[in-house]
Amino acid sequence: MPTNLEAQIRSKSGLATLGIIVLNAPGTIDSDYKGEIFVILHNVSKLERIIKPAQSIAQIVFSSIYSETISGEVLYKEAYRKGGLGSTTE
């Protein structure tokens, strides 16, 4: 993914109407992330729901981002990852 983009993971409206939502939505995937994408689903209904293999479970939206410098300090700086799912550290 180009460095000027981020990806956002969101709930699918069809599943959300059944009570299955993406937690931490929208989840952000940085342009430097190279690993597998995991989606954390939560069933907020009182009914059991079954997700079938190859079923669409979320949406991905690509969005432009930019860096800005104020008083010589970069507001957005590269971070490194240790493991995924919120593991970005400075």
What pLDDT, in 10s, does the model give residues 18-62?
999 999 888 889 888 888 988 999 999 999 999 999 999 999 999
Q: What is the pLDDT of residue 33?
A: 87
User: pTM of the full predicted structure?
Assistant: 0.66
pLDDT band at 73 (very low <50, low <70, confident <90, very high): low
Q: At residue 53, what is the residue type?
A: P
Identify the structural domains of the chain with CATH numbers, from first to last.
5-65 (2.70.40.10)
